[in-house]
């Protein structure tokens, strides 16, 4: 750690926020180690950056002077829990020359991997009352050997190797998403590998280098389709819904903290919007004579309902509002009613956008840092 003003404590979990008698200033943070040690921490300002769900859980657990937890003055702490909708309900069938399809990553001027997406202009989105939704060309699920692709079968086998099942290789969630519908049948995968052996030999060194050695790692695996057909992977905003909530469970963890009950609820509007977005993309492809979408079922809404689950992105449970009765934190990420307790997290977002919460988490964290710096300067000047 090179920043001389920062003291970093490892292995501590903050289990409670203690406040003064009036319940409007933080007195201390209680923290515990798994080894049974307990300490108190006192600062001038406190910023919760424990991830959306754990921030919310900590605020809820700090309920000795605040019914339902600190920040629950409006009854909205833990409400409007949002993730995203994602899945595949269609295959894009291009009628253009297959070699012209850009199915993989591009690189920008800084060499960062970037990805082309189907999306909508904000004006079109508003006019059509669509949630913010994008789609990108995917790869068939690795675990389904009927893709007959040796590279994907090699990836399936690699993701099942003990080394890659650990955190060294890929997270469990990423592994599961890539493998998808795991039909087992190693023999069928091995047949795919034998058929494409020459292609695999040239592919592995370049992909292996890009994925494990290069400074900028290839984020994911996409493969060329000679048939010019690609699964279209959608990713969509979830509309804010007060019935979608997290709350404290009775069960406790190893440190005695109550765990969270999660009740993530999607709505008809979320589902219908995903289906409508696909109809617009299909129309666009046909109008421009580039191809069309082939749907995976006749009942698309039911299919989207079965795919709605998320769990990757956590948004909305300490929502931001100008007025205290409409949210948990104010426009400076400060818990309403406190001047020393802040939240730096996607839990303050009032909408979920189509994806990639982290960029906005960082933007809001920088904004909070500026605000605290200005407040400090104002206070020093007035002394």
Q: Given the complex with ligand FAD, which of 174 and 204 has the nearer CB atom?
A: 174
Min dist. Cβ of residue 34 to ligand FAD (A): 12
Long-range contacts for 41-47 (Cβ within 8 Å, ≥24 apart)? 41/14, 44/340, 45/340, 45/341, 45/342, 45/372, 46/17, 46/340, 46/341, 46/342, 47/342, 47/343, 47/344, 47/368
Using CB under 6 A as the binding rule, whether residue 33 contacts ligand FAD is answered as: no
Using CB under 6 A as the binding rule, whether residue 62 contacts ligand FAD is answered as: no
CA pair distance 58, 71, nearest whole angstrom: 11
Where would I find the beta strands (DSSP E) of 20-73?
Answer: 26-32, 38-41, 46-48
Min dist. Cβ of residue 207 to ligand FAD (A): 19
For ligand FAD, the binding residue among 70, 246, 361, 368 (CB under 6 A) is: 361
Using CB under 6 A as the binding rule, whether residue 319 contacts ligand FAD is answered as: no
Using CB under 6 A as the binding rule, whether residue 72 contacts ligand FAD is answered as: no
For ligand FAD, the binding residue among 19, 244, 317, 346 (CB under 6 A) is: 346
174 touches 165 (CB < 8 A): no
308 touches 270 (CB < 8 A): yes
Q: Given the complex with ligand FAD, which of 101 and 133 has the nearer CB atom?
A: 133
Token pair, residue 73, equals 């003055």
Q: How far is CA 198 from CA 153, 156, 194, in A?
A: 14, 18, 9
How many C-beta atoms surround the C-beta of residue 188 within 10 A? 14
- Residue 236 region by backbone torsions, left for phi larger than 0, else alpha for psi between -120 and 50, else beta: beta
Q: Which stretch binds ligand FAD (CB under 6 A): 118-126, 274-282, 283-291, 356-364?
A: 356-364
Min dist. Cβ of residue 331 to ligand FAD (A): 19
Site mask for ligand FAD (CB under 6 A), range 158-177, x = bound: -------------x-xx---
Q: Which stretch binds ligand FAD (CB under 6 A): 47-55, 62-70, 224-232, 258-266?
A: 47-55
Min dist. Cβ of residue 279 to ligand FAD (A): 27
Using CB under 6 A as the binding rule, whether residue 14 contacts ligand FAD is answered as: yes
Min dist. Cβ of residue 256 to ligand FAD (A): 12
Strands 341-343, 46-48: pairing is parallel
Using CB under 6 A as the binding rule, whether residue 283 contacts ligand FAD is answered as: no
Residue 73 per-residue DSSP state: T
CA pair distance 333, 320, nearest whole angstrom: 7
- By the criterion CB under 6 A, which residues form the site for ligand FAD? 13-14, 49-51, 54, 58, 171, 173-174, 312-313, 345-346, 356-359, 361
């Amino acid at each position: 750690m090179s920043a001389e003003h920062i003291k970093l404590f490892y292995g501590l979990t903050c289990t409670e926020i203690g406040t003064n008698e009036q319940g409007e200033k933080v007195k201390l943070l209680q923290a515990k180690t798994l080894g049974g040690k307990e300490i108190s921490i006192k600062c001038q300002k406190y910023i919760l950056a424990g991830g959306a769900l754990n921030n919310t859980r900590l605020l809820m657990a700090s309920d000795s002077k605040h019914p339902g937890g600190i920040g629950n003055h409006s009854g909205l702490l833990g409400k409007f829990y949002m993730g995203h909708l994602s899945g595949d309900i269609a295959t894009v069938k291009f009628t253009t020359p297959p070699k012209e399809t850009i199915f993989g990553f591009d690189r920008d001027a800084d060499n960062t991997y970037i990805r082309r997406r189907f999306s909508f202009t904000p004006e079109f989105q508003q006019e059509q009352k669509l949630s913010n939704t994008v789609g990108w060309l995917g790869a068939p699920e690795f675990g389904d050997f009927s893709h007959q692709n040796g590279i994907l079968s090699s990836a399936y086998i690699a993701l099942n190797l003990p080394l890659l099942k650990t955190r060294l290789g890929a997270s469990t969630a990423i592994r599961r998403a890539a493998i998808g519908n795991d039909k087992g049948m190693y023999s069928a995968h091995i047949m795919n590998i034998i058929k494409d052996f020459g292609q695999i030999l040239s592919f592995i060194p370049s992909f292996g280098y890009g994925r494990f050695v290069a400074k900028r790692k290839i984020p994911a695996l996409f493969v060329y389709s000679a048939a010019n057909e690609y699964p279209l992977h959608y990713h969509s905003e979830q509309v804010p819904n007060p019935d979608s909530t997290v709350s404290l469970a009775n069960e406790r963890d190893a440190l005695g903290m109550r765990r969270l009950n999660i009740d993530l609820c999607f709505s008809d509007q979320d589902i219908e919007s995903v289906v409508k977005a696909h109809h617009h993309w299909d129309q666009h492809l046909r109008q421009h004579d580039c191809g069309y979408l082939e749907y995976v079922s006749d009942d698309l809404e039911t299919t989207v309902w079965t795919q709605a689950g998320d769990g990757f992105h956590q948004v909305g449970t300490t929502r931001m509002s100008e007025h205290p009765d409409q949210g948990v934190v104010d426009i400076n990420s400060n818990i309403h009613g406190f001047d020393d307790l802040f939240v730096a997290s996607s839990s303050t977002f009032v909408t979920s956008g189509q994806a990639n919460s982290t960029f906005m988490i960082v933007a809001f964290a920088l904004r909070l840092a500026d605000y605290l710096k200005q407040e400090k300067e104002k206070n020093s000047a007035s002394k």
